[in-house]
Amino acid sequence: MIYFDNSATTLPYKEVVDTFAKVSIDYFGNPSSLHPIGKASEQLMEQARKRVAALLNVNTSEIVFTSGGTEGNNLAIKGAAYQHRSRGNHIITTGIEHSSSYEVCKYLEKEGFLVTYLTPDKNGCVSASDVRKALTDKTILVSVIHVNNELGSIQPVEEIGSLLAKYPKVLFHVDHVQGVTKVPINFQRANIDLCTISAHKFHGLPGNGVVIVRDNVKLVSLFSGGNQQAGYRAGTENVAGIVAMTKALRITLDEAEKGTDHLQQMSHWLEEELMKIDGVIINSPAERAPHILNFSIPGLKPEVVVQALAERDVYVSTKSACSSKKNAPSRILVAAGFEEKQANSAIRLSFSFSNTKEEASVFLEKLKEVVATMKKVVKIK
């Protein structure tokens, strides 16, 4: 099997699964319980919180455990919007956000908020200058995806953060789900107030994530209930998932020290080889995250290409997994200004540190077979 769909989800490390199983049995108590079994679970969870904070270089008190990227983006964006509505109702974001941010902003528009969707350039990027021009005295939040989940374009979050440092009443949220472990962020230098990550993007288990909430930032909680996690997220914590996620984050960050260069080399080699195939157009910018490569084959249906490759035990995707079943052009590519024929035929490759150049070579051969076969069918029709 060749799996090049790691931006959708990653294969959990065996050690992570083993940790989840062990903690589920040995630390099953509710962390809010006062008896020793509950206290043991709470202690283990707080150890994990300290470890995650150290790995991300933030304060322990700034870690809020969630169920993943969608909840995290909802908590950050809705929570900030409702908390600070009394001083303004304007939000700035981009047209190429993940659906878990984009749809939240669309929802908030129905709630009376004004949202500016910045248009990216041909490389799928916005600029600090774009943000500055959009700011008003009613702006309360800027929300930007760090690494775009389809194109791999990297937003200039440090430059945007430096700009927003001059506007202390404007909060800065970064969706770091695709960037974590692949494209590092210095949270302090970027002046980020809120940041989202998700475990299953770095070989943890689905259903676990983190929102970093700066100590001086206040949010309205999405859930009504108990006072868990400083009141930001009511509900019994998933201790086993939290501990397993912590292990996955540590292992993947260790892998990144040697694996990032490998991914960059493999991705750019694949780009060069793909360009040799008749009809292939590269959509991703040259300067991009090391693990994402997007291309189009206009005239061929991408979902058919994906299924044909899957029959050959090669797994890729058309766009974000959250949108892949929608029979429509990629919203991301359309927003970035791509022609409809490219947006209609986009295919995304996304890699993990365990993928090899040998796998990339096999993928190329299988893709050539599929393209040749499909073009014959198209010509017959």
Per-residue pLDDT of the chain (381 residues; tens, 9 = 90+): 999 999 999 999 999 999 999 999 999 999 989 999 999 999 999 999 999 999 999 999 999 999 999 999 999 999 999 999 999 999 999 999 999 999 999 999 999 999 999 999 989 999 999 999 999 999 999 999 999 999 999 999 999 999 999 999 999 999 999 999 999 999 999 999 999 999 999 999 999 999 999 999 999 999 988 888 888 898 989 999 999 999 999 999 999 988 999 999 999 999 999 999 999 999 999 999 999 999 999 999 999 999 999 999 999 999 754 544 556 789 999 999 999 989 999 999 999 999 999 999 999 999 999 999 988 776 544
Q: What is the set of active-site residues?
A: 322
Beta-carbon neighbour count of residue 324 at 10 Å? Answer: 16
For the domain covering 2-7+257-380, report its CATH number.
Answer: 3.90.1150.10
Closest CA to 249 of 290, 208, 293: 208
Matching residue, tokens 């304007």? 90
Under 8 Å CB-to-CB from 275, ≥6 apart: which residues?
282
Query: Cβ(82)–Cβ(220) under 8 Å?
Result: yes
Task: Indicate the SS3 state at residue 10.
Answer: coil
Determine the Cα–Cα distance for residues 175 and 75; give it in Å rounded to an integer: 12
Under 8 Å CB-to-CB from 84, ≥6 apart: which residues?
140, 141, 169, 171
From-to residues of CATH 3.90.1150.10 in the chain: 2-7+257-380
pTM of the model: 0.94
The structure tokens listed for 198 are: 């998700």
pLDDT at 381: 44
For the domain covering 14-250, report its CATH number.
Answer: 3.40.640.10
Determine the Cα–Cα distance for residues 160 and 306; give it in Å rounded to an integer: 37
From-to residues of CATH 3.40.640.10 in the chain: 14-250
Closest CA to 198 of 367, 346, 52, 381: 52
